[in-house]
């Protein structure tokens, strides 16, 4: 995807310059679209009232996630945002790895739900002493999701069935099956809403801060996974195989790597990461399982992967941005009465421009021509001095 | 009259988005009613120049005049409206449509307002077919007709759109000699009717035979415009490549050892039901180069596909060092130290957006030396790739550079560096120097000879006669999916004789051919 | 209990209708080389605007037209990103789907002030049903075929129109050539970009009709997640039907059958969550069967038996 832009005759400096300008332009367009939508939905009798209401809403979205009304930095808000990052870092990493191999598996959504559910079951019913319970619960959630991903992965690798359609179908199947199990067997009938029995006390994950942000040690695990994923993708032969498959699958086959194995591997890993994210989210921030709708973390994870250019190392940055924006939209909805779902429109716009090869292509071509001319001039100068 | 220019291109420069400078300050003109050759080696910028004339690409700077008027050829539609038509080397036909449907694509005759008037399309096709004496089957699906007819369809397509100026992009590349002769009659015919033609080729004899004037390109620049009758073939070749065209590769006589590759009675029927391989048997021994010559599309591609596990034959056997390799996948084939320089290097040979280094390690990622436990041993990988880049004189800033930004010749050097360096016992080289510059060509050819002399078995498939004849110790000629001839010694072979076998005019006896099995 | 009542078959056709619209969009799209996974999101947005339009103007027809216009508009936006800015078409579709789920909720809140549904469609605004004279009197069959909504008949009529479009019109010829060999098309002056826009635009209009059917006939008004993967199922139906209109229609009917069966089962008191995933599971199984069949054909061609011919 974004990688294709690298086939350029540009010097490294120009190349970086272009990437930064392009990213900023995409963000600016997204914010402009957001502002227009805010303006349309703002209350006010006339233009200036609407304008001031919109500006207030925009302030809520862009500034309030980290700063108090008086403009001072809020540590609590900051840890809130960090806590928000955890699940989308996992779904983001999962998507990075799957998309790197050009496997458009959109199952991180169902994956995080399944992982959360299985982890929750272990946390409620399996009596394991001490913190081992946390580990076992999360591992079980991750494994279950990894196994689930075998379905689209094997079908793609062996039969060529679209992993995209299958993973989307599985998202629905998972959601309904969980709801069925909840309704029929698991729900705590003493409560008015659908939820499981509470987790055992030793299943609750320790918190990093005690300010009520629910920022658990899961954050640290997420960062460790980011580093591990980077090493996996850029420093092991399996990650190499995954990346090459994404660039040119026939090349990988011709080179003697096992394409089917790579296709399966990347999706199973994606499943494990998504499932892990679900488990950590459960034990870090909840005391019962109560997801009956898709949590949308999977879709945000796709945006995170696109923003990160499928490189795990940029996932925290992208996740921070998305968590910040999500919080901003929530604040905007409570304080300025703009529906929080604005986030999905902003997300879609950023997403579209980030993944657009030809976005600012004219500007890029200028840089390329410049680079080529510089190079030619250099060569000629070298030849001339050589002749002398 | 006669001196009137129908096309003038002035000071044309073209820089591609990836930074390649394809044309630099090129001047080009064509007179009415002439056949004008555009000559140059692969990559000299002929195709780019013609793409600009046909509106497929836009010049970065420069001016184009048609009939003396400056024009902006922003798309093929505009070019067509100025009477320019193009016959592409890779046919611009839609295989699942019929000839008639392809003919009228973009200018479909209608009936009752909305629907295709297919009868009219057929009638139109037949009318033009007769008028220009270019016989085609209007109702056949393009997928089912032979190459020669496809080309006729392409020419008719241009004519039916009112083209007065035809650009023919290497029209003879896919044709047999008979078909070529036929084509030349047809072109002369068109010339008599007042049509102007631009003939792209790098085959000297054809140029001398049919063209009036020529423009020679080298490295994206024009080397001047000449009257064909005023220049000798030697002069042309000097202008084209700046040296003698025939690259002599010094080699000692082969001392073949034991048999490495043993192919017996290979048969393959393709998905359209055509027999592409018909009882093909051959052997390649240690230390020798066996060449496979032939016009493209006579089973060479299919043979290579079978040898490297890309396809399975309907019958036959392929053994390497005594072991059957049919049915193995590419990993298993490579584990047996078989290397392939693939014909299509952009599709199979490289991952274009990865670095040179990443492209060099693709066949050996599991090698012990390149791994430290589960991690790559990056310093070893750097060391190995730097060494290969140096040994194979790959022109680049560093091994970390994106391979797609290199020139064709340097990309191919990376491919052969990888394929030649993993201790092969058998190298299959499929069109190893197609479309690359002279320097890289010479380097790769020398390397092939050197490796064979060190005891490696080499199977060389090439449509470049000069290449197979120069490099091979012995060679076979394929025609129509069969081996038409085997020559134990390539030294005293003549082009004419080869041509007869390549075109199926002559055929050796089964006994003569069987000698390639060395039994 | 007799499952195969006339009612049952009637409901298959009713359920298959929106899927059929989207399937035809997918068929035309794939013929033109455009894989449109945004059909889901387009149906969502069209469903919303169809019901709003009908409510505002008190006319189901204008509601339907608005739904189609919104579908067209969204598909053209998709086209702009996919064709002009070269965003991967799958990612483009994913973005459209995001807008379809979250964006619709945003718009509903802004426009109506309601939370996640619009109970706006009353009986008089519903897309009308047609009782076909003569046919309705045929025993059993009449009950199955007659009495559907106008859009249902249009959907099946569109199967035939799609065949005519693709194989009998100049536009269809252009769509197929752009899908198969865009270079060939552009070399004779067919604007690939224009044809791609037309292809995706037709798909958008068709998906828009499917969306309108959802909110203006299938259900009374729009609700969150009401399209529930039908846009994705359509993609599966397209590939199961081998990309041809009639085959894909049959595939869409199979999904209708699976859903109708699910509804029948849940009527017997089984938890709806247990039957709701049936169409999705059927999709996966059907894709597998289709792929296995393709693989078998492939093998046959390679067998040595082919030599004997």
In chain A, what are the domain boundaries? 74-337
Positive or negative: CA dihedral A102, C225, A278, A111: negative
Q: Which of C174, C176, C189 sits opposite B76 (nearest CB)?
A: C189
pLDDT at B177: 67
Instruction: Return all residues near B460 (Cβ < 8 A) that are at least 6 apart.
Output: B289, B290, B291, B292, B429, B432, B448, B467, B468, B471, B472
pLDDT of residue B206: 81
* Distance to chain B for C205, nearest Cα, Å: 20
Could you say which architecture CATH assigns to the domain B259-517? 3-Layer(aba) Sandwich (3.40)
Domain positions in chain B: 5-241, 259-517
Among chain A residues, the shortest Cα distance to C97 is held by A348
3-state secondary structure chain C: CCCCCHHHHHHHHHHHHHHHHHHHHHHHHHHCCCCCCCHHHHHHHHHHHHHHHHHHHCCHHHHHHHHHHHHHHHHHHHHHHHHHCCECHHHHHHHHHHHHHHHHHHHHHHHHCCCCEECCCCHHHCCCECCCCCHHHCCCHHHHHCCCEHHHHHHHHHHHHHHHHHHHCHHHHHHHHHHHCHHHHHHCCCCHHHHHHHHHHHHHHHHHHHHHHHHHHHCCCEECCCCCCHHHHHHHHHHHCCCCHHHHHHHHHHHHHHHHHHHHHHHCCCCHHHHCCHHHHHHHHHHHHHHHHHHHHHHHHHCCHHHHC
The three-class DSSP label of residue A316 is: helix
pLDDT for C88 beyond 80: yes
CB contact under 8 A, C103 and A353: no
Q: What is the pLDDT of residue C309?
A: 43
Query: Which has more pLDDT, A23 or B37?
Result: B37
Query: Which residue from C minimizes the CA distance to A294?
Result: C225
Q: Alpha-carbon distance C20 to B473, whole Å?
A: 64
State whether residue C282 sits within 8 Å of chain A by CB: no
- The answer, for C105 touching chain A at a CB cutoff of 8 Å, is yes
Indicate yes or no: CB of A177 within 8 angstroms of CB of C277.
Answer: yes
The answer to whether B52 and B14 have CB atoms below 8 angstroms apart is yes
Mutant choice from B57, B89, B92 vs C, greatest count of C C-beta within 10 A: B92
Q: How far apart are CA B377 and CA B382, in angstroms?
A: 9
Verify whether the Cβ–Cβ distance A344 to C106 is below 8 Å. yes
Q: Which chain C residue lies closest to B78 (C-alpha atoms)?
A: C189
Q: Among A138-147, A351-360, B409-418, C246-255, whose mean pLDDT is lowest?
A: A351-360
Give the distance from residue B431's alpha carbon to the nearest chain A alpha carbon, in angstroms: 16
Q: Read off the pLDDT of each residue in C161-169 and give the average, rounded to a whole number.
A: 95
Q: Which residue of C has its CA nearest to A99?
A: C91
Look at A165 and C95 and tell me if their CB atoms are within 8 Å: no
Using CB atoms, list chains with 3+ pairs below 8 Å to chain C: A, B
Give B309→chain A minimum CA distance, Å: 9
The verdict on a CB contact (< 8 Å) between A9 and B378 is no
Work out the number of other CB atoms within 10 angstroms of the CB of residue C303: 11
C-alpha B271/C-alpha B276 separation (Å) is 10
C309 touches chain B (CB under 8 A): yes
Q: DSSP for A237-252?
A: HHHHHHHHHHH-HHHH
Question: In this model, does residue B88 exceed pLDDT 90?
Answer: no
**Which residue among C88, C101, C291 sits closest to A344, beta carbon to beta carbon?**
C101
**Bigger pLDDT: C275 or B342?**
B342
Cβ neighbours of B68 (radius 10 Å): 9
Confirm whether C276 is domain-assigned.
no
DSSP structure class, residue B195: -
Q: How much is the pLDDT for B56?
A: 85
Chain C environment of B107 (Cβ under 8 Å): 188-189
| pLDDT tier, B247 (very low <50, low <70, confident <90, very high otherwise) | low
Domain of residue C160: give its range: 6-227
Question: Residue A71's pLDDT is what?
Answer: 83
Q: Distance between CA B403 and CA B210 in Å, rounded? A: 40
The answer to whether C152 faces chain B, any CB pair under 8 Å, is no
Tell me the two tokens of residue B408: 């064709």
Q: Show which subunits contact A, needing at least 3 CB pairs below 8 angstroms.
A: B, C
Q: How far, in Å, CA of B454 to CA of B447, rounded?
A: 11
A272: alpha, beta or left? (left if phi > 0; alpha if psi -120 to 50) = alpha
- C280 and A173: CB-CB below 8 Å? yes
Cβ-based contacts under 8 A for chains A and C: 133
**C-beta atoms of B96 and C176 within 8 A:** yes
Determine the distance in angstroms separating the CA of C99 from the nearest CA of chain A, rounded to an integer: 5
- Give the distance from residue C130's alpha carbon to the nearest chain A alpha carbon, in angstroms: 34
- The pLDDT assigned to A142 comes to 98
Name chain C contacts of A345, Cβ cutoff 8 Å.
98-99, 102-103, 106
Tokens for C188?
């004779």
On whether the CB atoms of residues B9 and B28 are closer than 8 A, the answer is yes
Does A254 contact B349 at a Cβ distance shorter than 8 Å? yes
**B170 DSSP 8-state letter:** S
Other residues' Cβ atoms within 10 Å of the Cβ of residue A3: 18
- A160 contact residues in C (CB cutoff 8 A): 291
Angle at C74 between CA C71 and CA C77, to 5 degrees: 150
B86 lies within 8 A of chain C by CB = yes
Residue A3's region, left for phi above 0, alpha for psi from -120 to 50, else beta, is: alpha
Residue B394 pLDDT > 60: yes
Residues of A in contact with C286 (CB under 8 A): none
Determine whether the interchain pair C103/A348 forms a contact, defined as Cβ–Cβ distance below 8 Å. yes
* B510–chain C nearest CA distance, Å: 21
Residues 6 or more apart in contact with residue A71 via CB below 8 angstroms: none
Q: Which two tokens stand for residue A212?
A: 């009520």
Residues of chain C with C-beta less than 8 angstroms from the C-beta of B96: 176, 180
CATH class of A74-337: mainly alpha
| CB-CB under 8 Å, A1 with C91 | yes
pLDDT digits (tens, 9 = 90+) for A291-338: 988 898 999 999 999 999 899 999 999 999 999 999 999 898 888 888
Q: Is the pTM higher than 0.80?
A: yes
- CB atoms A257 and B340 under 8 Å: no
Contact of B255 with chain C, judged by CB distance below 8 Å, is answered with no
pLDDT of residue A180 exceeding 80, the answer is: yes
How far, in Å, CA of A275 to CA of A138, rounded?
8
Helix (H, G, I), strand (E, B) or coil at B319: strand
Q: What are phi and psi of A129, to 5 degrees?
A: -75, 150
- B43 token code pair: 């990559």
Dist CA B2 CA C159 (whole Å): 58
Comparing B59-73, B398-412, C209-223, which segment has the lowest mean pLDDT?
B398-412
Contact A1 C273 (CB under 8 A): no
What six digits make up the tokens of C27?
Answer: 């068929």
| pLDDT tens-digit series, residues B265-305 | 999 987 656 688 999 999 999 999 999 988 777 889 999 99
The single residue listed with the structure tokens 């690798």 is: A157
Domains B5-241 and B259-517 are alike in CATH topology: yes
Give the count of domains, chain C. 1
pLDDT at C24 over 60: yes
Which chain C residues are within 8 Å of A155, Cβ to Cβ?
Answer: 284, 287-288, 291
Q: How close C26 comes to chain A (CA, Å)?
A: 13
CATH class of the domain defined by B5-241:
alpha beta
Mutate to test the interface with A, among C78, C94, C265 (most CBs of A within 10 A): C94
**A126 Cα to chain B: minimum distance (Å):** 34
Look at A144-153, B48-57, C290-299 and tell me which has the smallest mean pLDDT. Answer: C290-299
Q: Do B362 and A235 touch (CB under 8 A)?
A: no
In chain C, what residues touch B56 (CB-CB under 8 Å)?
186-187
Residue A192 pLDDT exceeds 70:
yes
Pick the more confident residue, A290 or A371: A290
For an interface test with B, the pick among C184, C192, C301, C303 (most B C-beta atoms closer than 10 Å) comes out as: C184
From the CA of B69, how many Å to the nearest CA of chain C?
Answer: 22
Q: Cβ–Cβ of A176/C273 closer than 8 Å?
A: yes
Are A7 and B365 an interchain contact pair (Cβ–Cβ within 8 Å)? no
Give B 252-291 residues with CB within 8 A of chain A.
none
Beta strands in B321-447 (DSSP E): 323-324, 338-341, 371-372, 375-376, 426-430
Q: What is the 3-state secondary structure (H, E, C) of B29-56?
A: EEECCCEEEEECCCCCCHHHHHHHHCCC
List the end-to-end C-alpha distance of chain B, in Å, as a whole number: 68
Work out the pLDDT band at C286, boundaries 50, 70, 90.
confident
Residue A7 has pLDDT above 50, yes or no: no
Check pLDDT > 60 for residue B243.
no
Q: CB-CB: which of B76, B108, B114 is closest to C187?
A: B76
Which of C168, C169, C187 lies nearest to residue B92, judging by beta carbons?
Answer: C187
């Amino acid at each position: 995807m974004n990688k294709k832009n690298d086939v350029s005759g540009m010097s490294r400096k120009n190349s970086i310059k272009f990437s930064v300008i392009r990213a900023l332009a995409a963000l600016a367009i997204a914010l402009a679209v957001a502002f227009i939508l805010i303006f349309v939905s703002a209350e006010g009798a006339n233009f200036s009232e609407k304008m001031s209401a919109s500006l207030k809403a925009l302030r809520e979205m862009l500034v309030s996630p980290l700063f108090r009304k008086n403009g001072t930095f809020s540590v609590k808000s900051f840890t809130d945002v960090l806590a928000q990052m955890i699940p989308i870092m996992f779904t983001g990493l999962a998507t990075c790895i799957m998309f790197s191999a050009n496997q458009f598996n959109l199952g991180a959504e169902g994956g995080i739900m399944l992982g959360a559910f299985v982890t929750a079951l272990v946390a409620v019913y399996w009596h394991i002493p001490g913190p081992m319970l946390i580990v076992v619960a999360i591992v079980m959630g991750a494994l279950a999701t990894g196994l689930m991903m075998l379905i689209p992965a094997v079908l793609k690798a062996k039969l060529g069935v679209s992993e995209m359609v299958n993973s989307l179908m599985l998202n629905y199947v998972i959601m309904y099956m969980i709801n069925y199990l909840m309704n029929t067997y698991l729900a705590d009938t003493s409560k008015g809403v659908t939820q499981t029995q509470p987790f055992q006390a030793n299943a609750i994950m320790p918190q990093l801060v005690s300010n009520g942000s629910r920022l658990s040690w899961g954050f640290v695990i997420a960062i460790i996974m980011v580093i591990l994923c980077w090493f996996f993708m850029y420093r092991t032969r399996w990650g190499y195989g995954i990346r090459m498959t994404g660039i040119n699958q026939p090349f990988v086959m011709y080179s003697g790597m096992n394409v089917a194995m790579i296709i399966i591997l990347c999706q199973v890993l994606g499943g494990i990461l998504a499932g892990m994210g679900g488990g950590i989210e459960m034990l870090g921030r909840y005391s019962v399982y109560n997801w009956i709708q898709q949590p949308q973390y999977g879709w945000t994870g796709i945006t995170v992967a696109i923003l990160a250019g499928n490189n795990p190392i940029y996932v925290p940055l992208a996740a921070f941005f998305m968590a910040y924006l999500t919080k901003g939209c929530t604040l905007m909805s409570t304080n300025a009465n703009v529906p929080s779902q604005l986030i999905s429109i902003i997300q879609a716009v950023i997403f579209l421009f980030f993944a657009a090869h030809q976005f600012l292509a004219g500007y890029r071509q200028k840089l390329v021509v410049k680079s080529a001319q510089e190079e030619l001039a250099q060569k000629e100068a070298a030849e001339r001095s050589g002749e002398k | 009259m006669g001196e009137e220019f129908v096309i003038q291109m002035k000071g044309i420069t073209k820089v591609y988005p990836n930074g390649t400078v394809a044309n630099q300050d090129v001047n080009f003109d064509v007179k009415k009613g002439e056949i004008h050759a555009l000559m140059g080696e692969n990559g000299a910028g002929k195709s780019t120049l013609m793409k600009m004339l046909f509106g497929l690409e836009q010049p970065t700077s420069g001016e184009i005049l048609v009939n003396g008027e400056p024009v902006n050829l922003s798309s093929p539609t505009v070019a067509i409206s100025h009477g320019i038509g193009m016959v592409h080397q890779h046919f611009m036909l839609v295989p699942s449509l019929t000839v008639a449907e392809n003919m009228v694509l973009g200018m479909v005759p209608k009936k009752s307002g909305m629907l295709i008037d297919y009868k009219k399309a057929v009638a139109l096709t037949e009318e033009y077919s007769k008028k220009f004496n270019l016989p085609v089957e209007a109702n056949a699906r393009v997928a089912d007709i032979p190459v020669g007819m496809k080309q006729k369809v392409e020419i008719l397509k241009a004519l039916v759109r009112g083209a007065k100026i035809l650009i023919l992009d290497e029209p003879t590349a896919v044709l047999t000699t008979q078909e070529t002769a036929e084509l030349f009659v047809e072109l002369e015919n068109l010339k008599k009717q007042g049509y102007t033609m631009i003939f792209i080729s790098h085959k000297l004899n054809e140029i001398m035979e049919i063209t009036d004037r020529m423009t020679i390109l080298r490295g994206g620049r024009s080397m001047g415009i000449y009257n064909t009758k005023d220049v000798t073939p030697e002069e042309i070749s000097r202008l084209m490549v700046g040296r003698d065209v025939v690259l002599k590769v010094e080699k000692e006589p082969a001392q073949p050892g034991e048999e490495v590759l043993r192919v017996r009675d290979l048969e393959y029927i393709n998905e359209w039901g055509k027999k592409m391989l018909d009882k093909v048997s051959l052997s390649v021994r240690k230390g020798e180069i066996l060449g496979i010559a032939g016009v493209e599309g006579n089973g060479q591609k299919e043979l290579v596909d079978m040898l490297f596990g890309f396809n399975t034959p309907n019958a036959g056997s392929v053994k390497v060092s005594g072991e059957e390799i049919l049915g193995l996948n590419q990993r298993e084939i490579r584990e047996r130290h078989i290397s392939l320089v693939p014909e299509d290097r952009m599709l199979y040979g490289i991952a274009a957006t990865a670095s040179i280094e990443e492209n060099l390690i693709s066949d050996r990622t599991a090698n012990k030396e390149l791994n430290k436990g589960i991690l790559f041993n990056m310093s070893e990988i750097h060391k190995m790739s730097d060494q290969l880049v140096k040994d194979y004189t790959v022109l680049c800033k560093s091994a970390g550079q994106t391979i797609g930004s290199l020139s064709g010749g340097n990309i191919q050097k990376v491919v052969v560096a990888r394929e030649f360096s993993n201790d092969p016992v058998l190298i299959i080289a499929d069109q190893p120097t197609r479309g690359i510059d002279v320097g890289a060509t010479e380097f790769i050819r020398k390397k092939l000879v050197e490796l064979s002399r060190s005891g490696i078995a080499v199977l060389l498939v090439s449509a470049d006669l000069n290449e197979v004849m120069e490099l091979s110790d012995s060679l076979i000629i394929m025609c129509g999916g069969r081996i038409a001839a085997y020559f134990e010694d390539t030294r005293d072979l003549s082009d004419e004789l080869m041509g007869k076998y390549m075109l199926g005019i002559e055929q050796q006896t089964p006994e003569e051919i069987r000698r390639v099995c060395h039994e | 209990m007799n499952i195969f009542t006339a009612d049952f078959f009637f409901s298959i056709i009713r359920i298959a209708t929106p899927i059929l619209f989207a399937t035809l969009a997918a068929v035309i799209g794939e013929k033109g080389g455009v894989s449109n996974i945004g059909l889901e999101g387009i149906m969502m947005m069209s469903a919303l605007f169809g019901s709003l339009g009908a409510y505002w103007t008190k006319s189901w027809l204008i509601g339907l037209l608005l739904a189609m216009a919104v579908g067209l508009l969204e598909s053209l936006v998709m086209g702009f990103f996919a064709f002009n800015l070269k965003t991967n078409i799958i990612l483009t579709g994913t973005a459209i789907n995001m807008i379809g789920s979250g964006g619709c909720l945003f718009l509903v809140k802004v426009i109506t002030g309601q939370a996640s549904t619009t109970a706006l469609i009353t009986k008089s605004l519903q897309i009308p049903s047609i009782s076909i004279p003569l046919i309705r009197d045929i025993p059993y069959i009449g009950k199955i075929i007659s009495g559907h909504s106008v859009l249902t008949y249009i959907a099946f009529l569109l199967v035939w129109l799609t065949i005519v479009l693709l194989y009998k019109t100049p536009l269809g010829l252009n769509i197929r050539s752009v899908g198969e060999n865009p270079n060939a098309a552009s070399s004779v002056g067919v604007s690939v970009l224009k044809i791609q826009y037309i292809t995706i635009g037709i798909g958008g209009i068709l998906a828009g009709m499917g969306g309108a059917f959802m909110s203006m006939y299938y259900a009374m008004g729009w609700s969150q997640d009401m399209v529930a993967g039908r846009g994705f199922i359509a993609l599966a139906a397209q590939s199961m039907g081998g990309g041809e209109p009639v085959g894909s229609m049959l595939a869409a009917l199979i999904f209708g059958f699976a859903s109708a069966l699910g509804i029948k089962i849940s009527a017997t008191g089984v938890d709806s969550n247990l039957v709701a995933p049936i169409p999705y599971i059927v999709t996966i199984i059907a894709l597998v069967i289709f792929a296995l069949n393709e693989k078998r054909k492939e093998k046959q061609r390679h067998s040595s038996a082919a030599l004997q011919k």
